Structure 1
Amino acid sequence: MKPRKVVAAWVEAFNKADADLISSFYSDDATNHQVADGEVVGKEAIRAKFEQEFATADMVCIVENIFEDGEWAILEWKDPLGLRGCGFFHIINGKIQFQRGYWDKLSFLKQHGLPIPQ
């Protein structure tokens, strides 16, 4: 599957809040580095992180753009509350090997009424 299609399917799984389905898009030794949170390494750890996040807040990813360049896909997104961000996905053999995401964690926490770490 081409990188653009992998990311489009990843967004569908994200919007279903399905940690098992979303983790199926990652290679076993993948890295998910959300800059606001740090790195998570390994498919099972990534699944657990998504499970935790989906239990914490109702999240929706609205695609603004998906760009593709070779083994890379770039996702520009927004959510219904006005948060915006982008993600970079390195896809090898149809699986996400590396992901890096940029978004404003403080705005996210405030919008969802979650505690702000001190």
Structure 2
Amino acid sequence: MEAKDLVKKWVDLFNEGNAEKIAELYHTDAVNHQVANDVVVGKSNILEMFKNEFAAAEMVCIVENIFEDGQWAILEWKDPLGLRGCGFFLVEDGKIKMQRGYWDKLSFLRMHHLPIPRD
């Protein structure tokens, strides 16, 4: 599967809130670094991350653009509440090897009425 097609599938599963299916898109030793959070290493930890995130807030990813450059796909997204961000996906052998995302965590927490860390 090409990088762009895999990211389209990722978006569909993300919007379903299906942590198990989305985790299957990752390599066993994949890395997910949402730069506002700690780095998450390994498919099982990525699964737990998605379970926790989907339980904490209803999230919707609306694709604005998906660009592809070889093994890389870049997702530019927004959500219905006005949050915007982008994600970079390195795809190897049809699975996500590395993902990095940029978005405003403080705005996300406020929009979803979640606690704001004080440290």
- Which category of TM-score, normalised to the shorter sequence, fits these structures? over 0.9
2:49 aligned residue? 49
Q: In 1, Cα distance between the equivalents of 2:6 and 2:54?
A: 20
SS of the counterpart of 1:80? coil
2:20 aligned residue? 20
Percent identity of paired positions between Structure 1 and Structure 2: 64
- Give the residue type in structure 2 aligned to 1:87: G
- Give the residue type in structure 1 aligned to 2:6: V
- Listed as ranges, the matches of 1:1-118 within 5 Å are 1-118=1-118
Give the deviation of 1:38 after TM superposition.
1.8
SS of the counterpart of 2:39? strand
The TM-score, its normalising length taken from structure 1, stands at: 0.99
Give the deviation of 1:56 after TM superposition.
0.2
Give the deviation of 1:34 after TM superposition.
0.3
Long gaps (5+) in structure 1: none
Q: In 2, Cα distance between the equivalents of 1:103 and 1:84?
A: 6
Q: Could you report, residue by residue, the CA deviation over 1:6-38 in whole angstroms, capped at 9, with x for unpaired residues?
A: 000000000000000000100000000000002
Q: How many residues align?
A: 118
Q: In 1, Cα distance between the equivalents of 2:62 and 2:40?
A: 23
Displaced runs of 4 or more, over 6 A: none
The TM-score, its normalising length taken from structure 2, stands at: 0.99
Q: In 1, Cα distance between the equivalents of 2:17 and 2:47?
A: 11
